[in-house]
Amino acid sequence: MINIIKAVIFDLDGTLLDRDQSVIQFIDNQYQRYHERLNHIPKDTYIRRFIELDARGYVSKEKVYQTLVKEFKITNLTCEALLQDYRTQFKHHCMPFPNLHSVLEGLHNKNLRLGLISNGKGQFQMDNIEVLGIKEYFDTILISEWEGMKKPDPKIFQKALHQFNVQSNKSLFVGDHPEKDIQGAQNIGMISVWKRDDYWKNTKAEYIIENLQDLLSVLEELNKG
């Protein structure tokens, strides 16, 4: 069978990396490590407030920690120290979604070009990719800080496709965010695959998957054509 689809490009957070669970593990561990300085705050309160302020990663951590220090009257630990702790320690709590490696291995074995496009800080995101053990699967990795552009800017999608020398309608983009991932990919003619996240509603993608394993069925269906 000749593959109609030539490339599959992924988002990272919420698609390959289970960011919600990773954040919970990290912030729980941060509280425990700094317990002597944070013990005036109930652990559940600290964790819950961090998650609220973080807004699923769409608020800068600098602002998150500035607010935490102010609200909880943390006087013996600076927001800068907490921020640096986040930057260096989060990678140790990265959790993949189920079937991550087997799916990437399956796609690799189909001779597909694989890419990853992530909004975020360059080294921070690359550290997370390396900890997940998936860097070697990708022919290109584009991270917004290093690229000087971010999703849904069409140029960042187009850069990956140009590197692959693949037409947009011969490629899939897999992501969880309705605007940054799905609409951004659709705007340049890519086939979009939404990895369902109940946080978002009414996401209009060509395909919807519940888990990464479902992606193999999507490819099989497309390549039948």
Half-sphere exposure of 32 (CA within 13 A, CB side): 7
pLDDT of 51 higher than 90: yes
pLDDT, residue 2, reads 57
List residues bridging with 192 in a β-sheet: 173
Beta strands 171-175; 113-118: pairing state? unpaired
Question: Which of 28, 11, 137, 141 is CA-nearest to residue 92?
Answer: 28
Q: N- to C-terminal Cα distance for the chain?
A: 10
* pLDDT per position as a tens digit, 95-149: 999 999 999 999 999 999 999 999 999 999 999 999 999 999 999 999 999 999 9
pTM, to two decimals:
0.95
Q: Kindly tell me if the per-residue pLDDT of 1 is higher than 50.
A: no
pLDDT tens readout for residues 62-105: 999 999 999 999 999 999 999 999 999 999 999 999 999 999 99
* pLDDT for residue 202: 77
Evaluate if residue 216 carries a pLDDT over 70: yes
- CA-wise closest residue to 133 among 111, 159, 105, 157: 105
